[in-house]
Structure 1
Amino acid sequence: MTLSETAPALSVLDLVPVRTGQTSAQAMTASMALAQRADELGLRRYWFAEHHNMPSVASTSPPVLIAAAAARTRGIRVGSGGVMLPNHAPLIVAEQFAALEAIAPGRIDLGIGRAPGSDPVITQLLRASGAAGEVERFPSHVQDIALMVRPSGATVQFTSGGEYTVRATPGASSAPEIWLLGSSDYSAQLAASLGLPYVFANHFAGHGLQRALDLYRSGFRAGETLAEPRTFLTANVVAAETADEAHARALPQLRMMARLRRNQPMIALETVEQAAQGLADAADAEEQTLIDGIRSSWFVGSGPDVRSELAAFAAQHGVDEIMISPVAGSYDAEPLDATPGRIRTLELLAR
């Protein structure tokens, strides 16, 4: 089973979801199996997000997860979607991804974002050592990383005279591909000015996609590694044998997003049965309205319907790739160390 030549290429964004009663170990086992299946199906890339201190998300450390996925796959590109750069020292990021590139040459993507990926308390803890990058220096830190991961390295100029060469790894033969990620005009314009590939976070931003793409494409200036604008789309997706099953499997994540929008405490992801019962018990008109609004921008339905909708979405925005976040929930009886709904989503779309 391989991707259709006429369909947009498919990639995966994984937050490593954690459901009720599931351990982090079980959630990661399930995600590694999903990465392996994506590789078998011929998908283009598999990215891990960076989020912290969330009961329903185990993707706290993209480099660790990327290394694990790279070891279990053969052809698919693996990377970050993304590393939240203000949380980390640029040299550390460069060293981590140069090492990953040495482990899996030609298969590593370094997606970089500017958001903290958590709440203010966690942000302070992440930056407690003082080594993380300041948000206002984000553009220069992106450029520093791009230089340090190159085989030739970067040259530090001292005000008193002299130079010092910095290489992220001593004998690099290739470099990871750097992508700039964002959900604002700022990130689109910065990617354009630096000549970097760019991805708008459509799967959670909810608005501003076309404006961001227009700003990026119209302002793009060719760089050393990219001659023309390069971008793709992200989307929350659930595909199943029937539309009814797809909508049932989408409900746990929809309720989680509604909780987030209402600033309610986060919990582990509900099962399909828990989500349906919780929605029925609450009889909350505001929650239902939020869920309906969120679902309207998702792609939820049978395999053929979702494939068709994704192809139209790609054509509308002039891209040849869509990165899906497969947000299908699990039923009570399904194994804790597997996510059959997410795997089936990939299988149905890759036909």
Structure 2
Amino acid sequence: MELGAFMMPAHPPYRSLAEGHYHDLDTIEYLDRLGYREVWIGEHYNLPAEPHPSPDLLIAQAVLRTKRIVLAPGGFMLPFHHPAELAHRISMLDHIARGRLMIGIGAGGNTPDLQMFNIDVPSGLNRLMMEEAIDIMVRFWESEGPFEYKGRFWTARRPQDSPDGLCSYHIRPLQKPYPPIGVTGLSEGSPTLRLAGARGWLPISFCYSTGYLRGHWRAVCEGAEQAGRAPPPRDAWRVSRGVYVAETWAEALRRTVHGEMGRYYRENFLPLLARSGMLAALKHHPDVADSDVTVEYCARHCWMIGTAESVAEQIEQMKHESGGFGVLHVMCLDHLDEMATWRDSLASLAHIVGTDISSDTPASA
């Protein structure tokens, strides 16, 4: 198993946009020095707590400050982008990153974002738009000559190259035929993870209940079977979870529940899940009442927190109960106000998983 990170990115309301952006950049650099394999970065528009509409801006800067870590938008919300334009942007970013790039894609799950782009929410058109958009993008990346794609939502063309070569389609990804594609899933039996299995994409699970994890892998395998594909290897599966390592369990509980992690869940994440009817994803048992799903509940049932030994045991238990996965993503939140303790936790987790930690990287750097 390898170690990665997932950034919303999330920040407290008093953090300026620039402060948050550069803190995220510093964090990615630190993760690279610790030997984390990858980091995924979200795209959001109308979520003040998760203020980053363009993950590729952060990635383009992170490329210059990192050496090994693989960078990934997590992901581009495809209904919000013309696929011809985004295909070219991704191709260029792949070259800038020298191949240290994966591509997360999504349909857009935040209703105000969909409304802003005039996408009908109840109809579920955003999922159909995502599938059509990625089909067009892949068509560009794999094309050997001119084509025209007339879809339900977009029309795109690869025009004929001019005989003199002055005008031609030429910006292709560095990785052939294109960077690995990943999608995230939260709900039990996630249709997005089912699509990952059908398309051969990387499945990424947001994990708050191990029971849901088992359903996630079933969805991936069912999607693959329906498409006539072999199921992906389990080491392709990414699992994202809240993790915090401290000297004692009591300290880990205090620093998460009463720190930025707890504030983010209390003021933003839990209310959003409650509004969308998704609190069941956090419950360890279906009889748990919605009102009982508090930050303290998450600390005891959803996150993996405690001493290094305890967290190692929790990781092994999750691997056993899920059947195994390839990369653990720690949910990486704003920690400008808790720098030393959060970075100690990230470094301790790297030791637990056994990443290649640089000798010149102190835990509280």
The TM-score normalised by the length of structure 1 is 0.75
Equivalent residue for 2:205? 200
Once residues 87 and 38 of structure 2 are traced to their aligned partners in structure 1, the CA distance between those partners, rounded to angstroms, is 20
Q: 1:227 to 1:210 in 2, by over 3 A?
A: closer
Equivalent residue for 2:133? 141
8 Å contact kept, 2:243–2:303: yes
Equivalent residue for 1:247? 253
SS in 2 for 1:108: coil
Pick which of 46-55 and 106-115 moved more. 46-55
Gaps of 5+ in 1: 1-7, 265-285
8 Å contact kept, 1:249–1:330: no
Say if 2:60 is the partner of 1:67: yes
8 Å contact kept, 1:238–1:326: no
Residue 10 of structure 1 deviates from its aligned partner by 0.4
| Aligned residue identity for 1:197 | L
| Aligned residue identity for 2:261 | Q
Pick which of 252-261 and 25-34 moved more. 252-261
Q: 1:186 to 1:72 in 2, by over 3 A?
A: same
Residue 127 of structure 1 deviates from its aligned partner by 4.7
Q: 1:256 to 1:190 in 2, by over 3 A?
A: same
Say if 2:30 is the partner of 1:37: yes
Q: 1:165 to 1:214 in 2, by over 3 A?
A: farther
8 Å contact kept, 1:182–1:200: yes
Once residues 265 and 333 of structure 2 are traced to their aligned partners in structure 1, the CA distance between those partners, rounded to angstroms, is 11
8 Å contact kept, 2:245–2:252: yes
Once residues 176 and 11 of structure 1 are traced to their aligned partners in structure 2, the CA distance between those partners, rounded to angstroms, is 17
8 Å contact kept, 2:13–2:48: no
Once residues 131 and 232 of structure 2 are traced to their aligned partners in structure 1, the CA distance between those partners, rounded to angstroms, is 20
Equivalent residue for 1:124? 115
Counterpart mapping for 1:287-306 below 5 A: 290-295=294-299, 296-306=301-311
Equivalent residue for 2:362? none
From 295, 304, 311, the counterpart of 2:316 = 311
Counterpart mapping for 1:1-351 below 5 A: 8-19=1-12, 21-116=14-109, 118-120=110-112, 122-127=113-118, 134-150=126-142, 152=144, 155-156=147-148, 164=159, 170-174=171-175, 175-184=178-187, 185-202=190-207, 208-220=212-224, 228-229=232-233, 230-251=236-257, 252-260=260-268, 261-262=270-271, 290-295=294-299, 296-317=301-322, 318-327=324-333, 331=337, 339-351=339-351
SS in 2 for 1:198: strand
Root-mean-square deviation (Å): 3.6
Equivalent residue pairs, number: 310
Residue 298 of structure 1 deviates from its aligned partner by 0.8
8 Å contact kept, 2:180–2:201: no
Residue 151 of structure 1 deviates from its aligned partner by 7.5
Once residues 109 and 26 of structure 1 are traced to their aligned partners in structure 2, the CA distance between those partners, rounded to angstroms, is 26
8 Å contact kept, 1:233–1:321: yes
8 Å contact kept, 2:252–2:306: yes
Once residues 19 and 206 of structure 2 are traced to their aligned partners in structure 1, the CA distance between those partners, rounded to angstroms, is 27
Residue 47 of structure 1 deviates from its aligned partner by 1.0
| Aligned residue identity for 1:156 | E
Residue 198 of structure 1 deviates from its aligned partner by 1.5
Q: Residues 149-196 of structure 1: CA distance to partner in whole angstroms, max 9, x if unpaired? A: 34758832579xx98479985254423211122334311221122122
Once residues 148 and 15 of structure 1 are traced to their aligned partners in structure 2, the CA distance between those partners, rounded to angstroms, is 29
Once residues 168 and 207 of structure 1 are traced to their aligned partners in structure 2, the CA distance between those partners, rounded to angstroms, is 47
Once residues 46 and 146 of structure 1 are traced to their aligned partners in structure 2, the CA distance between those partners, rounded to angstroms, is 23
Q: Percent identity, aligned pairs only?
A: 21
Q: 1:81 to 1:34 in 2, by over 3 A?
A: same
Residue 140 of structure 1 deviates from its aligned partner by 2.5
Q: 1:293 to 1:134 in 2, by over 3 A?
A: same
8 Å contact kept, 1:78–1:107: yes
Q: 1:27 to 1:177 in 2, by over 3 A?
A: same
Once residues 216 and 88 of structure 1 are traced to their aligned partners in structure 2, the CA distance between those partners, rounded to angstroms, is 26
The TM-score normalised by the length of structure 2 is 0.72
Residue 82 of structure 1 deviates from its aligned partner by 1.6
| Aligned residue identity for 1:293 | Y
8 Å contact kept, 2:194–2:221: no
Gaps of 5+ in 2: 120-124, 152-156, 162-167, 274-289, 352-365
